[in-house]
Amino acid sequence: MPSSDLWNCPRCGQLYRLDEPSCGVCRVTRENRDVIGKTSVVRSIEKEAQAVEVHLPYVIQEARFNIPAPDGQMVWASGALAAGEAGFFLLSEKDGRDPKDVALSRPLGSGAVGPSSYFVAAASVVRVVHEKLIGFWIELADRKIPLRLPKGGWEELDLLCDHFGIRHT
């Protein structure tokens, strides 16, 4: 068989006929080097924000988040994520405040809005990440705020990110 009818696997060096789409040894495909077998090795594809219409205030229940406590420690809290015109409110159930009422307020900047609640200005959010193999967090310029939401909550948060013009995965 002439060598023009063969292709060489770049990883292991095996020779294959042109009708074989991938290496049988290491599963690298002939055409796409970032695809191994039928699975892409590209870990996450960030989505650019799209124009959507969301009616604020918007509340996502069953949120768990890690926020800074007054003594400097990071503390896990559970409650709701409320979105207002200014950004996101991570509201703890312990504070006993109505998420929609709190979301109507406009704090001056990111920071505590109660003993166990925190506000994140939309302008300070770099991106929101929710990939199973990477992590789940709201990324600010100087730190990451770990966040857990139910499956439907992530889809709702993606819409809110689109509304604010925030990149998300």
pLDDT band at 1 (very low <50, low <70, confident <90, very high): low
Q: pLDDT at position 133, please?
A: 72
* 50 inside domain: no
CB 107 within 8 A of CB 113: yes
In this structure, the answer to whether residues 94 and 162 fall within a common structural domain is yes
Q: Which residues contact 5 (CB under 8 A, 6 or more apart)?
A: 17, 18
* Whether the predicted model's global pTM rises above the 0.75 cut: no
Q: How confident is the model at residue 156 (pLDDT cuts 50, 70, 90)?
A: very high
b vs e for 115-144, b when ≥16 Cβ sit within 10 Å of the residue's Cβ? ebbbbbbbebbebbbbeeeeebbbbeeeee
Judgement on whether residues 5 and 74 belong to the same structural domain of the protein: no
- pLDDT exceeds 70 at position 45: no
Q: With bands split at pLDDT 50, 70 and 90, how would you rate the model's confidence at 40? A: low
> 100 and 25, same structural domain?
no
In a domain, 46, yes or no: no
Over residues 127-143, the pLDDT tens digits come to 998 887 777 889 998 88
User: Are 28 and 93 in a shared domain?
Assistant: no
Query: What percent of the chain is predicted at pLDDT more than 70?
Result: 85
% of the chain at pLDDT higher than 90: 33
Same domain, 122 and 153: yes
In-domain check, residue 68? yes
Are 126 and 163 within one domain? yes
For residue 140, the enclosing domain spans 58-168
> CA distances (Å), 134 to each of 38, 44, 146, 157, in order?
21, 8, 12, 17
Overall number of domains in the chain: 2
Q: Give residue 33's pLDDT band: very low, low, confident or very high (50, 70, 90).
A: low
The answer to whether position 27 is within a domain reads yes
